[in-house]
Structure formats: C-alpha cells, structure tokens
Amino acid sequence: MTLFDTTQIALERAMSGATLRHSVLASNLANANTPGYRPMDVDFHGALQQALQFGSRAVESAEIGPAPSGDAALRADGNGVDVDVTSAKLAENGLELSAITQVAGARVDILRYALGTR
C-alpha cells in the first residue's frame, strides 16, 4: 500500500508541468523581439492524460517537456511569438497552477487530519 494515490501523484506532476510551462511561456515573451525565435510550449495535459490510463507508475515517469509550438505564425523576421496570445496562455496557466496547488494542498491536509498530525 502506498501513501499517495494516483490522483495525488498526478496532481504533483501537473504542478511541475504547469511550472515548467510557465517558465517556457515567459521565455517566449522574453524573446518576442528576437529574430528567428520559434516559440515553445509544454503539453503536460496530454502527457498526463495518456499516462493516467496505465496507473501511478506511468504517471510518475510521464515525459513532460517543452516542444515547439505548432500554432505560431511567423512574422517577416522569422519570429513566431504572438505577445497577446502568449500573455493569455501565461495568465491561464497561472490560474491553473494555482487551482492545482490548492487541490493538492487540500488533499494533503485531509491526509494530515486523518493521521492526527493536524
């Protein structure tokens, strides 16, 4: 028997994925004026959704990393960063990260309460 179930492990992996995505999106914004820069993104949703079909070990080892963003329209200088779209993605990801963190924290609080350490 393990202390943390698949859901808790998935929440922790989602937090790390959302944190990585936040960093990647911020890097895209920082390079918005760099000629030839191609934006990146992190699809942690898809990786976790696929891994959840195979249990907690698959979730723990799911490959979550940056990949080139496929929806980038290149400007004349070869840069594919749309500042407005990227800013919206960054804000949405921040809200999602906050929600994931709150849910994971609440689950840990329940566990602490059950163990009598709270």
For the residues 36-60, what does the mean pLDDT come to? 95
User: If you write DSSP's letter for every residue of 89-102 in order, what string do you get?
Assistant: HHHHHHHHHHHHHH
Exposure on the CB side of residue 103, measured as CA atoms within 13 A: 15
pLDDT tens string 50-69: 999 999 999 999 999 999 98
pLDDT tens string 2-35: 667 899 999 999 999 999 999 999 999 999 999 9
| Strand locations in the chain (E) | 40-42, 66-68
CA 99 to chain centre: 12
Exposure on the CB side of residue 87, measured as CA atoms within 13 A: 4
In this model, does residue 49 exceed pLDDT 90? yes
